[in-house]
Structure 1
Amino acid sequence: MEIETIRTYCLQQPGVTEGLKWGDHLTFMVGEKMFAIFGFDQTPINASFKVSDDDFEEMQDRPGMKAAPYLARYKWIAVEDISMIPEKEWYGILDQSYELIKMKLPKKTLKSIDDPV
């Protein structure tokens, strides 16, 4: 999957913004909270994303995936090469990560996302 395809897909979600963190990591956020991080200046492109508690153990046991450094306690997974995950699966991962972060946002923030003025 191309980083531009990921970018286009993420930015279609309500309330999503993007930014650069740590100099070279493209970060997607909802309500100012990160839900996906891509090291797009690196070869291969790596990524980190939030997963459910149930998926955390399973995903970190897959080849090329591990608990994300600094974010593992929050159930984030790091993948060393985004091409290791099929495109269709990426859509599900991004949707789940977005929803997991969004549902923890304060009600006022959720209202502004769900009912933009």
Structure 2
Amino acid sequence: MTPQALHALAMALPGASHVVQWGGSDVYKVGGRIFAIRGLGGGVSFKASDIAYAAMVESGMARPAPYLARAKWLAMEDLDAIDPEDMKGWLASAHSLVAARLTRAQRKTLGLA
């Protein structure tokens, strides 16, 4: 998967926005809250459900994301090795998990309600 493909998948989600932060990392947000990050090292980190987090860490598909593991974030170091269809699902899930924590008014404004 290319960085451009990741960007396209993330931005296709409703209410998604993109900013460059922390010295050049691509940060994807919904309602001002982060759901995915493509870091300078070429990897990607994203929010996961409790079950997906446990399964992906246990299977070795991903590792706990530095500084964000306690919030059930996963890190995958090699973007090139990720199947785009899998990433599409993981990003949609991350987006949904983060959007669910927005206020009802924010979700309505973003067209998510």
**TM-score greater than 0.5 by the shorter chain:** yes
Within 1, Cα distance between the matches of 2:31 and 2:38?
Answer: 18
Scaled by the length of structure 1, what TM-score is found?
0.88
- Report the equivalent of 1:11: 11
Count of aligned positions: 112
Query: Residue 14 of structure 1 aligns to a residue in which SS?
Result: coil
**Matching residue of 1:52:** 49
Q: CA RMSD in A?
A: 1.4
Structure 1: unaligned runs, 5 residues or longer: none
SS at match of 2:110: helix
Amino acid at match of 2:16: V
- Pairwise mapping of residues 16-55 of structure 1 onto structure 2 (< 5 A)? 16-39=16-39, 41-42=40-41, 45-55=42-52
The correspondence for 2:107, drawn from 65, 90, 110, is 110
- Alignment partners' CA distance in 1, 2:73 and 2:44: 10
Residue identity matched to 2:78? D
Q: Percent identity?
A: 30
Structure 1 ranges of 4+ moved more than 3 A: none
For 2:95, which of 90, 93, 98 is the aligned residue?
98
**Aligned CA distance change for structure 1 residues 69 and 8 (closer, same or farther; 3 Å):** same
TM-score by length of 2: 0.91
Q: Please list every run of 5 or more consecutive structure 2 residues that lacks an aligned counterpart in the other structure.
A: none
Higher RCO (CA 8 Å, separation ≥ 6 residues) = 2
